[in-house]
Amino acid sequence: MAQRILALELADDRVEAALGERAWSSFALLGTYQSERAEDESDLAPALRRLLSQTGTPDLVISALPGELVAKRLLTLPFTDRRKLDQAVPFALEEHLPLSVEEAVVAYLPLMRDGRNSLVLAGLVRREDLRAHLDLLAQAGLDPKTVTLSSLALSALINRSRNGNGADSHLLVEFEHGRTSVVLLDSGGVPRAVRTLPVGLDPALDPQRAESSAGAIIAAVRQTMLSHNAEGISTDIVVSGSPAASPEIRDRLSRELAVPIRGVEDFDCSALFSKSAGEWIRQASCVAMLLGETPNQPVPLLNFRVGEFAFHGRTGDLTPFYTSGLIAAALAVLMVLNLILSIATDLHHLRMLNRAIVEAAAPVLPGVAPDQTEHVLAAHLAAARKRLGLLGGSSGPASPLDTLLFLSHALPTGLGVDIDELAVDDTSLKLNGKADSYATIEQLRKALAGTHRLSDVQVSEEGTGEGHKVIFHLTATIKDIGLGPD
pLDDT at position 317 is 46
**Beta-bridge mates of residue 255:** none
For the stretch 243-262, pLDDT in tens is 887 888 889 888 998 888 88
Asked if CATH classification 3.40.50.1390 holds for the domain at 1-154+277-317, the reply, yes or no, is: no
pLDDT at position 322 is 56
Cα separation, 341 vs 355, whole angstroms: 21
- Scanning 183-261, the segments in alpha helix (DSSP H) are 207-228, 247-257
- Residues 238, 263: contact at Cβ < 8 Å? yes
pLDDT at position 323 is 62
pLDDT at position 132 is 94
The segments of the chain whose pLDDT lies below 50 read 277, 317-319, 395, 483-486
Superfamily of domain 400-478: General secretion pathway protein M, EpsM (3.30.1360.100)
pLDDT at position 485 is 44
pLDDT at position 47 is 94
Domain ranges for the chain: 1-154+277-317, 165-266, 319-390, 400-478
For the stretch 18-75, pLDDT in tens is 999 988 778 888 889 999 999 898 889 999 999 999 999 999 999 999 888 898 889 9
Same topology between domain 1-154+277-317 and domain 165-266: yes
Q: Is 146 helix (H, G, I), strand (E, B) or coil?
A: strand
Cα separation, 228 vs 469, whole angstroms: 100
Cα separation, 2 vs 317, whole angstroms: 7
Contacts of 302 (CB under 8 A, 6+ apart): 107, 108, 109, 121, 123, 148, 149, 152
The DSSP secondary structure of 377-408, one letter per residue, reads HHHHHHHHHHHHHHTT-SSSSPPHHHHHHHHH
Q: Which of 134, 147, 143, 7 is nearest to 65 (CA)?
A: 147
CATH architecture entry for 165-266: 2-Layer Sandwich (3.30)
